[in-house]
Structure 1
Amino acid sequence: MTSSVKDLVLVAGATGGVGQLVVGELLEKGLGVRILTRNPAKAQKMFNDRVEIAVGDIRDAATLPAAMTNVTHIICCTGTTAFPSGRWEFDPDPSWIEWAQLLFDPQLRESRAKNSPQKVDAQGVINLVAAAPPNLQRFVFVSSCGVLRKDQPPFNILNGFGVLDAKQKGEQAIANSGLPYTIIRPGRLIDGPYTSYDLNSLLKAKTDSKLGVVIGQGDKLAGDASRIDVASACVECIFIPATARQIYELANKGTRPTFIDWEKLFLQPTTV
């Protein structure tokens, strides 16, 4: 699979577990990569000056248009924890007594959290979609298994603080945008996260799950999903025209073949 020298992929969430691996896959295939980041020094160190860096924040719509110049594809790997944690960036930092209040008061939680699922997976994705160039070739979004099964275990527990609700709002914004898109819904992420500052390690990353890849549709899959395979799916789908305007689930099951045939997996998704 080859790419055009004009291809320029904007990766949001590039310093996260899946995002780092996506960048490694894109570079290995010779695509131009631009990173959208709040921390340019961290991104520069992580990717050894092999990517363009755009300073921006999907939660702040005004910071996004400048990052879109000449972008042909967007891969969005952003996300936060499903349950309240330090990654939600509460302002100010809650005391141990305040944590109890935050857990039981949704309005207080949203007013104090800068990095909640609603602000990242819903509004942040909505902002990114609105800023995308109208001639974009593909918008790839990492969502989650279970967005259509929020009333069923274990997804009802996972959605206790609204992460699947937020992912679904992001999906809806993408699907309604008129842009060509591919949505990848992984199961519970394993293999990582990779917070390496060694790009060579990312380029050589191998799955530790030793399981095959299963691609499905209709939100029927469940199970673990290797971050490495999720990253590969995000990159491989942009080379397969038939994956446009499609939503896929991904999990790791069965015996792993020596070669992952992504085109076959996408074109013949499992119905189980």
Structure 2
Amino acid sequence: MTSFDSVEDLVLVAGATGGVGQLVVGKLLEKGLKVRVLTRNAAKAEEMFNQRVEVAVGDIRQPATLPAATQDISHIISCTGTTAFPSARWEFEQSPNLIEWGITFLNPKSSEAKAKNSPAKVDAQGVSNLVAAAPRNLKRFVFVSSCGIERKNQFPFSVLNAFGVLDAKQKGEESIINSGLPYTIIRPGRLIDGPYTSYDLNTLLKAKTGGKYGVVVGTGDTLSGDTSRIDVANACVESLLHPSSSRKIFEIVNQGQRPPAINWETLFSGLK
């Protein structure tokens, strides 16, 4: 039994052209599932995915662009995000000079206010906007969050959260949980493995983890370590196929010896 009950099911992937998002789309297509991607750049998405997906032009930071993108969808996988520390991806209104960069690092709130793509605008408000636009009969909302949400005052997560990325991820989680929608929240450790840049679809479909380590999941935000983007993408897609992952929040890291195949049902059903 899976949460896919008909050929009409349609998965919306937000953040589809990012590292994890690209792999998620490839794995959904590999399983024969229908995919719609939410993107600000239609030409880039069409080229990346070889015109095998529906493309909805929109931006989670702009609520008015979302109703059309979420129409008739059955599942959402949100892989959106930005850098934890100020960078070009924050899309500052104007490029900071050296003095302004110094002020930015001394006063994180001032930098966030000047950025269009900060964690607060993407991981908190953007996710909240996507939740508000989701159909009330949505079968699952999968959100890629982060380890450390519940350990923000402990090293190294206190450093990671210097500019509020974990605060923003937590607000995103809360908006999903409080919505009443069925959800799966995945908290990876430090992301490793590609893609680091845009891959073409053929490469994505062939993406296999070359890691030697197994997949470990847990609850209560106690795990730490590296997590392959490939395994995060697998967890996102497999969670749609296993009812035992519904309304679960879990960390995922790579540890121990890797078995010949990952038994996702065993992993999900063992979660509290």
Q: Same fold (TM over 0.5)?
A: yes
Which residue identity lines up with residue 55 of structure 2 in the other structure?
I
> Given the alignment, which residue of 58, 61, 64 partners 2:63?
61
Task: Give me the whole-angstrom Cα distance separating, in 1, the residues matched to 2:9 and 2:32.
Answer: 9
> Given the alignment, which residue of 32, 42, 45 partners 2:44?
42
1:241 is aligned to: 243
Contact 1:196 1:202 in 2 (8 A): no
Which residue identity lines up with residue 238 of structure 1 in the other structure?
L
| TM-score w.r.t. length of structure 1 | 0.96
Task: Give me the whole-angstrom Cα distance separating, in 2, the residues matched to 1:236 and 1:60.
Answer: 29
> Given the alignment, which residue of 11, 14, 17 partners 1:15?
17
1:159 aligns with 2:142: no
2:222 is aligned to: 220
Superposed CA deviations along residues 173-217 of structure 1, whole A, max 9, x for unmatched, are 000000000000000000113423321110111113221000111
Task: Give me the whole-angstrom Cα distance separating, in 2, the residues matched to 1:246 and 1:187.
Answer: 17
Which residue identity lines up with residue 154 of structure 1 in the other structure?
P
Superposed CA deviations along residues 238-266 of structure 1, whole A, max 9, x for unmatched, are 11112111101100000011111001011
| TM-score w.r.t. length of structure 2 | 0.96
Unmatched 5+ stretches in structure 2: none
Contact 1:144 1:184 in 2 (8 A): yes
Task: Give me the whole-angstrom Cα distance separating, in 2, the residues matched to 1:229 and 1:209.
Answer: 10
Counterpart mapping for 1:89-168 below 5 A: 89-168=91-170
Is 20-29 or 202-211 further displaced after alignment?
202-211
Unmatched 5+ stretches in structure 1: none
1:189 is aligned to: 191
Task: Give me the whole-angstrom Cα distance separating, in 2, the residues matched to 1:231 and 1:35.
Answer: 15
Task: Give me the whole-angstrom Cα distance separating, in 2, the residues matched to 1:20 and 1:197.
Answer: 8
Is 253-262 or 94-103 further displaced after alignment?
94-103
Contact 1:91 1:112 in 2 (8 A): yes
Task: Give me the whole-angstrom Cα distance separating, in 1, the residues matched to 2:148 and 2:211.
Answer: 21
2:211 is aligned to: 209
Task: Give me the whole-angstrom Cα distance separating, in 1, the residues matched to 2:250 and 2:135.
Answer: 24
Task: Give me the whole-angstrom Cα distance separating, in 1, the residues matched to 2:28 and 2:176.
Answer: 22
Q: Partner of 2:162: helix, strand, or coil? A: helix
| Corresponding residue pairs, total | 270
1:72 aligns with 2:79: no
1:174 is aligned to: 176
Q: Partner of 1:119: helix, strand, or coil? A: helix
Contact 2:244 2:265 in 1 (8 A): no
Superposed CA deviations along residues 86-144 of structure 1, whole A, max 9, x for unmatched, are 11111111112211122222342122101100000000000000000000000000000
Identity %: 70
1:229 is aligned to: 231
Shift of 1:268: 1.5
